[in-house]
Structure 1
Amino acid sequence: MKETFNTGETQESLRQEYNPDGSVLRQAQLRLLDMAIYLQETAKKIGVPCRLDGGNVLGAMRHGGFIPWDDDIDMVVDYKDFKRLCDYLKAHPHPQFVLQDNDTDPGFYKEWACLRDLKSENRSHDNQQSADRRMHEAQKFRGLHVDIFPYEGNMIPWLQRLAAKLSVNVNTKLAGRYPQLAQMGYKFLHVIVFPVFRFIGKLFGNPDLYMHSYGAWFYEQNPRRCMIPHKDIVFEGHTFEGPADADELCRIAYGNYMDLPPRDKRDRHKIDVVFK
């Protein structure tokens, strides 16, 4: 693991600046780690492959765990397993964590699910009238969360971009402002539009092209060979399932991923975490 980065910073200096022991961010990261461990153990119990994704794979490769300024965890499952995992989590509730989707939270209109912590709260400090804040405050569950994304092959990239734009519009223009219209829009997309897109993909899509499922707000195009089968990856001292080729996945998404971005490009979420 690289100890001195292109910016001259080290793992230790990053840790001291962004997430030292005892800081709110480090407390949040450790709570998220507990949630991810629980989620993976539950998925394994029912035979669902569930792996780290996105910035967490990058963090594992570059930092051995969280990107120092990061405050989320993303996990992905195959689309065919997504509903089964969500249904199991809802039918076997944890005393502290809850599965958040449109069934458990009528203010949640996304095409993925979240595992939410009930003993914390994310408080946005975006402008009161901003779409991001309205989306956040429309939700019943607002604690720390692990995103659970479905992904699949046979994807058609331009259709996925269209699907994402439609979903984004439901969330940014309607959530927190017109709840009935938001629910109607979500159901129309979820039940009718995206299944049609998926059917078109099965007819004309590339079976070796994997992307987040229709309606997710991400567009990375990954070859099947770097996605499956899952291989172990170490994250914060714990072994998780990771992609088949973590190096290739990171290069597709981030380019020369072992270099740090400039300070002004380090994405820090506009969220304050309050522990209950």
Structure 2
Amino acid sequence: MEEISSATLRKIELDILCDVADFCHQNNLRYYLCGGTLLGCIRHHGFIPWDDDIDIIMPRPDYIRFHLLYNQRQSFYQVHSLLTDSKWYSTFAEVEDSRTIKVYRGFRKSSLGVSIDIFPIDGSPCGYKRRKLFWYTNNILTRIATLSKQKFVRSRHFEDQKNKKKMIRAFFRSAIKFIAIPFSWLFIPFNLNQIVTMRAMKYDVDSSEFIGVSTFPHYGYAECIHGASFLKGKWRVFEGKYFCTPDNYDEYLSHLYGDYLEIPPIHNRKSHHDFLAYWKD
């Protein structure tokens, strides 16, 4: 198999994004750039120079409808999630280019092609304490589910830190990870990803004051934001093309990244993807 370069990887992902965005426009579906993709759009008007992935979010009703329609076409782009496979490894979806394949370093999961991630966005409970408990619980359950799919591979969490103690911290993080993985296997029969999804779907995204990606809260409660201003879309340039972004992105990016317009130091400018990509023979 021919390995895919970083530049080609970006082009494949951008082509997937264009296809998904065009499909959403044609079918009146809402989507927004999110995470590092939105940060790159605002700060660099494209990919973050040292990163190479694409993330978008969809309000839950649009996310469900997208799944019902997208795979009906004859295309080498396909969407995969719990809605297409009850044993899917995560709570979010991936749209893959089936002409390619990814080989993961740290995950035990079926190899898909080069893909972009689509995260469903849901509402949340009323009241600060209830809301925070809801997010905290989903965070714990999702992390256990993710651990159950991981291999016994040394943690790379602190590799981008310029810290004399980073090797010691990485050692202890890896040790905790190796102890926690067998513990997480006990929960596999419960399908925690389905449980987290059902918990999140109790709260309507369009009528909730606070919304967010509560089914995969990588940043924890920081991902919980005011809904009304966030769901207003605005077209912005990413890699020379216009895509939908939240009108009020500042609250979201500030919660996730702090001073998001500040360029990080050189030692922090590293891609965090954990796979190699190839063209299929």
User: How big is the shift at 1:227?
Assistant: 1.0
Residue 243 of structure 1 is matched in structure 2 by 246
Counterpart contact for 1:98–1:116, Cα < 8 Å: yes
Instruction: Tell me which moved more, 231-240 or 80-89.
Output: 80-89
Measured after TM superposition, the shift of residue 175 of structure 1 is 7.0
Corresponding position: 1:161 with 2:145: no
2:259 aligned residue (252, 256, 260) = 256
Give the Å deviation of 1:174. Answer: 5.3
Note the 1:24-35 alignment, pairs <5 A: 24-35=5-16
Distance 1:226 1:253 in 2: 17
What is the letter of the counterpart of residue 45 of structure 2? G
Structure 1 residue aligned with 2:103: 123
Aligned partner of residue 99 in structure 1, secondary structure: strand
Matched AA of 1:149: F
The aligned residue for residue 5 of structure 1 is none
2:67–2:83 Cα contact (<8 Å) kept: no
The 5 A counterparts of 1:128-207 are 132-134=106-108, 138-139=109-110, 141-155=111-125, 156-173=131-148, 184-186=189-191, 189-190=193-194, 194-196=197-199, 198-199=201-202, 207=208
User: How many matched pairs?
Assistant: 236
1:210 alignment partner in structure 2: 211
TM-score, normalization by structure 1: 0.75
SS for the counterpart of 2:148 is helix
TM-score normalised by length of structure 2: 0.73
Once the 2 structures are TM-superposed, how far is the Cα of residue 195 of structure 1 from its aligned partner? 2.8
Task: For 1:198 and 1:36, locate their aligned partners in 2 and report how far apart those are by CA, in whole Å.
Answer: 25
Query: Unpaired segments of 5 or more residues in structure 2?
Result: 126-130, 152-180
Deviates most, 148-157 or 50-59: 148-157
Question: What is the CA deviation profile of residues 73-104 of structure 1, one whole-angstrom value per residue up to 9, with x for unaligned ones?
Answer: 1111111221111121122342x211111354
What is the rounded CA distance, in whole Å, between the counterparts of 2:121 and 2:16 in structure 1? Answer: 21
Q: Does structure 1 retain, via aligned residues, the 8 Å contact 2:91–2:193?
A: no
Q: Is the alpha carbon distance of 1:89 and 1:223 closer, same or farther for their aligned partners in structure 2, counting shifts above 3 Å?
A: same
Q: Residues 86-129 of structure 1, C-alpha deviation per residue, up to 9 Å, x if partnerless?
A: 121122342x21111135456522111110111222223x3xxx
Q: Secondary structure at the match of 1:273?
A: strand
User: Can you give the 5+ residue segments of structure 1 that lack an aligned partner in the other structure?
Assistant: 1-22, 127-131
Equivalent AA in structure 1 for residue 99 of structure 2: K
Taking a change above 3 Å as real, the CA distance of residues 229 and 195 of structure 1, as seen in their structure-2 partners, is same
The structure-2 alpha-carbon separation of the partners of 1:213 and 1:221, relative to structure 1 and needing over 3 Å to count, comes to: closer
Q: Which amino acid aligns with 2:140?
A: K
Change over 3 Å in CA distance of 1:42–1:181 after alignment to 2: farther
What is the alpha-carbon distance in structure 2 between the residues aligned to residue 239 and residue 80 of structure 1?
23
1:98-109, aligned counterparts within 5 Å? 98-102=78-82, 104-105=84-85, 108-109=88-89
Confirm whether residue 229 of structure 1 aligns to residue 204 of structure 2.
Answer: no
Matched, 1:45 2:26: yes
